[in-house]
């Protein structure tokens, strides 16, 4: 009987395919974890940017008012259903109160943390801007 020489076959063995699929699966799981962190960070940064935008908008409105029209006190509004905004106008202490006002604008919102992994909790966050307005009369 004549022996037929085995020619090297082309392709992959079943073991090679299983090992490569396992490696790809591990890499995929790691990439999905990084993607979830990226999405959470992006959402948080978007909310912070919106809050700073609302705070800046109100601060510019206050700075545009006439100095004598700035009434002392604490005021609030809701520029967005998910956020609340508070601004304070206060006279400076002592004689400086005649010519200087302290302005503070605070925007607060609630972030949900851990929603993707099932242990959801709420965290209050805020962005705050401070400024001085001076009368040069």
Whole-number Å distance between alpha carbons of 85 and 79: 7
Whole-number Å distance between alpha carbons of 39 and 28: 16
126 pLDDT higher than 60: yes
- For the whole model, what pTM was predicted? 0.72
16 pLDDT higher than 70: yes
- Both tokens of residue 55? 């705070």
85-114, pLDDT tens digit by residue?
999 999 888 887 788 999 999 999 998 776
Domain parsing of the chain, residue ranges: 14-134
10 pLDDT higher than 80: no
Q: How far is CA 41 from the centre of its chain?
A: 6
CATH 3.30.1300.30 describes domain 14-134: yes
């Amino acid at each position: 009987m004549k022996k037929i020489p085995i020619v090297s076959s082309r392709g992959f063995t079943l073991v090679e395919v299983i090992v490569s699929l396992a490696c790809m699966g591990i890499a995929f799981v790691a990439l999905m974890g990084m993607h979830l962190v990226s999405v959470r960070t992006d959402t948080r940064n978007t909310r912070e940017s919106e809050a700073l935008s609302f705070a800046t908008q109100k601060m510019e409105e206050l700075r545009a008012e006439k100095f004598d029209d700035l009434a002392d006190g604490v005021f609030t509004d809701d520029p967005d259903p998910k956020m609340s905004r508070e601004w304070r106008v206060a006279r400076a202490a002592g004689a400086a109160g005649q010519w200087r006002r302290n302005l503070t604008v605070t925007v607060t919102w609630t972030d949900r943390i851990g929603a993707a992994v099932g242990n959801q909790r709420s965290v209050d966050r805020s962005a705050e801007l401070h400024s001085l307005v001076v009368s040069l009369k």
